[in-house]
Structure 1
Amino acid sequence: MDRIAQIKQLLLATPNDSFLKHALALEYIKLNDDAAARQQFEELLAHEPGYVGSYYHLGKLLERAGDKAAAISVYEKGMQMAKAGNERHAYNELQSAYEELVY
C-alpha cells in the first residue's frame, strides 16, 4: 500500500485529523499534484486555522502556481495565527517567505 493510500485509510477512522491531512497534502506535492494538495491544505485550515505549518506549504504552492496575491494572503493569515499561538519559529518562517515575495 502506498503512502497516500495508507494516510487515506487512517483518515477514514479520524477524518478531522489535521496531522494526517497535512501529511496527505505533502504526499500530493511530492507527486506534483498541487490541485489535490491545495484542496487538502484549504480543508485543513478551514477546520483548524491554528495549524500554522500548513500556511507555509500552501503559500509556497500558490507561489509555484503564480498566484502571488493568494500566497501573500495565506502568509499574512499564517503570521496572524502563529502570533496568536505564540509560535515564533513558524512566524519567522512565514515572515521570511512573505518578505521574499513582497520585497
Structure 2
Amino acid sequence: MSDEQQKIKRLALNIKKNPKDSFSKFALALELLKRDQVTKAILLFESILKQEPDYLGVYYHLGKLYQQTGNVQKAGELFTQGIQLAEEKNNSRTKSELLEAFETLKIETDYDS
C-alpha cells in the first residue's frame, strides 16, 4: 500500500471515529483531489460547510470545484460568502485569495451576481 493510500485510509478512519472532525475531512478531500476524485471531495467539503460554516478554508476549494464542474452560480455565491466571512474574521490573506478567485470566475464565465 502506497503512502498516499495509507494517508487516505488513516484520514477515513479518523472521520469514522469522529464524524465531526473537519480537519480530517478537509485533509481527506485534498488527498482525493490529487486522485481526481472530485465528487467525493465536493461531498466532504459540503459536509464541513454544513457542520462548521466558519471553516474558512473550505470556501475557496469548494468554490473552485463548483466552478470546475460547471456550477458557476454556486461558486459565485460561495466566494461571496467566504469573502464576507474572511472580512469578519480579519483574515486578509484568505479574503484576497477569495476575491481573486471571484474575479477570475467573473472573467472566465458569464457570472453575474
TM-score computed with the length of structure 2 as normaliser: 0.84
* Superposed CA RMSD: 1.2
CA distance in 1 between partners of 2:86 and 2:18 (Å): 25
Task: Determine what percentage of the aligned residue pairs are the same residue.
Answer: 38
Deviation at 1:77, TM superposition (A): 1.1
Give the equivalent residue in structure 1 for 2:56: 52
* CA distance in 2 between partners of 1:31 and 1:102 (Å): 28
Aligned length: 103
User: 1:13 & 1:85 partners in 2: Cα distance?
Assistant: 30
User: What residue ranges of structure 1 are gaps of 5+ in the alignment?
Assistant: none
Deviation sequence 1:6-45 (CA, Å, 0-9, x none): 1011223322111111111111111111111000000101
1:34 corresponds to 2:41: no
CA distance in 2, matches of 1:38, 1:12: 18
Q: Distance in 2 between matches of 1:17 and 1:93?
A: 25
Q: Does 1:11 align with 2:24?
A: no
Please state if 1:91 is matched with 2:81: no
Counterpart Cα distance in 1 of 2:16 and 2:42: 20
Tell me the equivalent position of 2:111. Answer: none
Q: CA deviation at 1:73?
A: 0.9
Task: State the Cα distance separating 1:72 from its structure 2 match.
Answer: 0.6
**Structure 1 residue 98 displacement after superposition:** 0.1
Q: What are structure 2's unaligned runs of at least 5 residues?
A: 108-113
| Rg comparison, structure with higher value | 2
User: 2:44 corresponds to which letter in structure 1?
Assistant: Q
Residue by residue over 1:29-84, the C-alpha shift from the partner in whole angstroms, topping out at 9 and shown as x without a partner, is: 11111111000000101111111111101111111111111111110111111111
Q: What TM-score comes out, normalization by structure 1 length? A: 0.92
Task: Provide the rounded CA distance (Å) in 2 between the counterparts of 1:102 and 1:43.
Answer: 26
